[in-house]
Structure 1
Amino acid sequence: MAPVTSSYEVTSSIPPARLFKATILEEKHLHKILPQGVKSVEILEGDGGVGTIKLTTFVEGGELKTAKQRVDGIDKEKFTYSYTVLEADGFNDVIEKICCVIKFEPSADGGSICKTTNTYYPKGGAQISEEHLKGGKEKGLGMVKAVEAYLHANPTAYN
C-alpha cells in the first residue's frame, strides 16, 4: 500500500515564536500544559536536535500508552519541525512509521497558522482508515488549542 498523506491547518491567537517554543522547544513540559493527555516526554538519545530519539508517555486510559519519535529537522528561525513516529503501541500492526512536518506561520492578526502534514506508511497491504486520519487531526488541533489556552492563562510563560 502506498503512503497516505493528511494535512490540516489550525489558527491561533498566539504569535509563532511563542507557540513554537511552548509546543516544540519546551516539549518536555507538555505534561504541565496537557496533563489530561501527556504524562512525560523524555530524551532517550541525543541533545534535542536532529537525530534525537524521544519517548512520549501518555496518561492511562488513552488510546496510546507510549510513542517513540526521532527528530528529523528543526528550524528555530522559520518555526518548522519535522519528526518521525517510529513506534507507538496501538498502531504497530498497521503502520510502519508516520513522518510529520509542522510549520508555524504568522497570521495577519498577529497570531499563528499552524500547518501540519502527516505521511502514514502502512505495513504490507494494511489499510489506513479515514477514522485513523481524522483521529490524528483532531489530536493535533486539540493540542494547539490547549497550548493556546495555557499561554493565555499564563501570559509570561514561554516568552
Structure 2
Amino acid sequence: MGVITYESENAFVIPPARLFKAFVLDSDNLIPKVEPQAIKSTEIIEGNGGPGTIRKITFSEGHRPHSYLKQAKHRTDVLDPENFTYSFSVIEGDALFDKLEKISTETKIVASPDRGSIVKTTSKYQTKGDIQLPDEQIREGKEKASRLFRAVEAYLVAHPDLYN
C-alpha cells in the first residue's frame, strides 16, 4: 500500500468558531442546502456524531465533473470543537475509484490576522498495492472541498446572524 499526501491552506473571512460550527458541526444540514448540485444528502448511519460515527453521503445526480459518483461513507476520526480540528476518512464508495483503501483528511481551522480563518488541510490517499493515482483525480477532490468551504463562506456572509 502506498500513501500519497497533499496539503492545502486557504484563507476565509469567517472567524474559526463560526466556520467550524457551520462546516463541521452542522454539515449534515448545511452542505446539502448550500451545494445541492454536489451533495444531495448526508445521514448518520452509525454513531452519535462524534468519533466513530459513520455517515452516508449521497451525491446529486449529474454531479459534475463526476456524474459517476453516487455515494460515499465517511467515518469521523477526530472531532475537537475547542481546537477547531476535524478528521474523517472516506472508507467506502465511488470516491475511492477502486484504487484506494481509504482517504483520510485532517482539517484544522485557525484564526487569521484579519479576524477570519485559515483552513489547513492534510489529505492522505492510501492506495491498494502499487496503484498510482493520477494527480488530476486528487486535484479534483481538493477543488471540490474548496468549493464546499467557499459555498459555506458565502452563505455565512449572506446570513451574518447564523452560527454565532
Q: TM-score, normalised by structure 2?
A: 0.93
1:49 alignment partner, SS class:
coil
CA RMSD of aligned residues (A): 1.1
* Superimposed CA distance per residue, residues 84-143 of structure 1 (whole angstroms, 9 cap, x where no aligned partner): 100121534111100110011000000000011100001122111110111111111111
Equivalence for 1:26: 26
Match of 1:72 among 64, 77, 92: 77
Equivalence for 1:2: 2
2:61 alignment partner, SS class:
coil
1:143 alignment partner, SS class:
helix
1:97 aligns with 2:98: no
Output the amino acid matched with 1:111. Answer: G
Aligned residue runs from structure 1 range 1-159, under 5 A: 1-29=1-29, 30-62=31-63, 63=66, 64-159=69-164
| Unaligned stretches of 5+ residues in structure 2 | none
Which one is further off, 89-98 or 106-115?
89-98
| Unaligned stretches of 5+ residues in structure 1 | none
Q: 1:43 to 1:146 in 2, by over 3 A?
A: same
1:74 alignment partner, SS class:
strand
Output the amino acid matched with 1:8. Answer: S
* Superimposed CA distance per residue, residues 18-69 of structure 1 (whole angstroms, 9 cap, x where no aligned partner): 1111110001111112112111110000000010000111110122211101
Output the amino acid matched with 1:35. Answer: P
Q: How many residues are paired up?
A: 159
Q: 2:80, 2:109 → 1: CA distance? A: 11
Tell me which stretches of 4 or more aligned residues in structure 1 moved more than 3 Å: none
Q: TM-score, normalised by structure 1?
A: 0.96
2:2–2:128: 8 Å Cα contact kept in structure 1? no
Q: 1:81, 1:109 → 2: CA distance? A: 23
Q: 1:156, 1:78 → 2: CA distance? A: 22
Identity of aligned residues (%): 49
